Amino acid sequence: MKRSLFLALALCLLVLAGAEAWLHRHLFQHVSYSNSASIDAQLRERDSGPRWKMLFVGDSEVHWGVDPEQVDAGFRDAGRETLAFNHAFDGFGASWWPSLLPGLLEAPALREVDTVVVGVQLTDYLRLMRPSGEDCGGLQRPVLTSPFAVDLHADGLCRTRTWDAQLGRDLFGGLWTVRYASAVRTLLLPQAFFSSPHLALNSRSDGPPRRGFQPHRTLAQDKASYESEFRRWKAQFDPERDFQPIAPGAWQKLVVDGGFFDALQQTVERSGRRLALYAVPTNPVVIDTFHRRANYAENSALLAAWAARRGVVFVDLGLQDRPDADQYFSDMRHLSGVGARDFSRRLGRALAQPTPVRGPEARDGR
Taking Cα atoms as reference points, which of 259, 290, 330 lies closest to residue 94?
259
pLDDT reading at 125 higher than 70: yes
SS (H, E, C) the chain: CHHHHHHHHHHHHHHHHHHHHHHHHHHHHHCCCCCEHHHHHHHHHHHHCCCCCEEEECCHHHHCCCCHHHHHHHHHHCCCCCCEEECCCCCCCHHHHHHHHHHHCCCHHHCCCCEEEEEECCCCCCCCCCCCCCCCCCCCHHHHCCHHHHHHCCHHHCCCCCHHHHHHHHHHCCCHHHHCHHHHHHHHCCHHHCCCCCECCCCCECCCCECCECCECCHHHHHHHHHHHHHHHHHCCCHHHHCCCCCCCHHHHHCCCCCHHHHHHHHHHHCCCEEEEEECCCCHHHHHHCCCHHHHHHHHHHHHHHHHHHCCEEEECCCCCCCCHHHHECCCCCECHHHHHHHHHHHHHHHCCCCCCEHHHHHCCC
- Give yes or no for a contact between 280 and 242, defined as CB atoms under 8 angstroms apart: no
Q: What is the mean pLDDT of residues 277-303?
A: 93
Q: What is the band of 360 on the pLDDT scale with cuts at 50, 70, 90?
A: very low
Architecture of the CATH domain 39-137+204-363? 3-Layer(aba) Sandwich (3.40)
pTM passes above 0.85: yes
Q: What is the pLDDT of residue 182?
A: 78
Residues 146-176 pLDDT 10s: 999 989 988 888 876 654 555 556 555 577 6
User: Exposed, middle or buried, 168 (CB in 10 Å: 0-12/13-18/19+)?
Assistant: middle
Residues 6+ apart with CB under 8 A from 67: 86, 210, 211, 213, 215, 337, 340, 341, 344
Q: What is the pLDDT of residue 159?
A: 75
Residues 67-105 pLDDT 10s: 999 999 999 999 999 999 999 999 999 999 999 999 999
